[in-house]
Amino acid sequence: MQNRGTRTLETRRLILRQFQNGDAADMFKNWASDPDVTEFLTWPVHADVQVTETVVRSWIERYSDPSFYNWAMELKDGGEIIGNISVVKLDEKIEAAEIGYCMGKAWWGQALMPEALTAVIAYLFDEVDLNRVTAYHDTNNPKSGSVMRKAGMKQEGVLRAAGIKQGIYYDKAVYSILRSEW
Ligand SMILES: CC(C)(COP(=O)(O)OP(=O)(O)OC[C@H]1O[C@@H](n2cnc3c(N)ncnc32)[C@H](O)[C@@H]1OP(=O)(O)O)[C@@H](O)C(=O)NCCC(=O)NCCS
């Protein structure tokens, strides 16, 4: 494998690009302030836009690291940023990446995330030369499993009580795709 960092990717409806100064306002408004978006995520809603600004600044500082992969999803139509998709864990020894993603409610149900996930998987196999891409979802959030299947991933199983949110354990479904299947 060879790390290549967060390069710009293009799909039919999206530009996947690095976060930039000035993205915090859209990120806060479109998804980071919405409890319906964060319901199944590991982070809580941002209390105010200053929290989002701090997060975006910390990501921008990391783009010089070629092993950091974190894309803003920009709509070609209108230029708004509507979500993000990133590598949340990279295991270089086995050449495997775990992906995480989230998007504003206003754009759910248009298969935009499967489009973004497919492009990121293609990049990680074709350019970064990984061998395995994996993703997890709370079993109470089956929409996310649907995204993974549409991007060609297969469910490997369910890890019981493998996550905890607000003191309540939840089961995690694990999906993967291997380079040989791509
Ligand atoms: C999960 C998520 C990424 C789906 O992205 P998307 O672009 O809407 O994906 P799709 O359009 O392919 O929709 C996926 C499924 O959700 C369903 N769905 C979409 N909007 C919905 C809504 N408001 N209520 C219930 N189901 C909905 C779709 O019908 C679809 O089901 P199907 O594939 O069986 O037809 C998006 O809902 C999201 O960002 N949610 C919040 C963050 C999150 O849960 N991230 C994943 C953590 S593992």
pTM beyond 0.95? yes
Q: At what angle do helices 142-150 and 112-126 cross, to 10 degrees?
A: 50
Q: How far is the CA of 15 from the centre of ligand 1 (A)?
A: 19
Ligand 1 is surrounded, with C-beta below 6 A, by: 37, 40-41, 101-103, 108-114, 137, 141, 143-144, 146-147, 150
Q: How far is the CA of 2 from the centre of ligand 1 (A)?
A: 32
Q: Give the pLDDT score at 33.
A: 98
The per-type count for the chain, helices as H runs and strands as E runs, is 5, 8
Contact 114, 103 (CB under 8 A): no
CA distance 60 to 56: 6
CA distance 52 to 18: 15
Contact 172, 137 (CB under 8 A): yes
Ligand 1 pocket test: which of 33, 45, 108, 110 has the largest number of ligand atoms within 8 Å of its C-beta?
A: 108
Q: For every one of its 182 residues, what pLDDT tens digit does the chain have, with 9 covering 90 and above?
A: 999 999 999 999 999 999 999 999 999 999 999 999 999 999 999 999 999 999 999 999 999 999 999 999 999 999 999 999 999 999 999 999 999 999 999 999 999 999 999 999 999 999 999 999 999 999 999 999 999 999 999 999 999 999 999 999 999 999 999 999 99
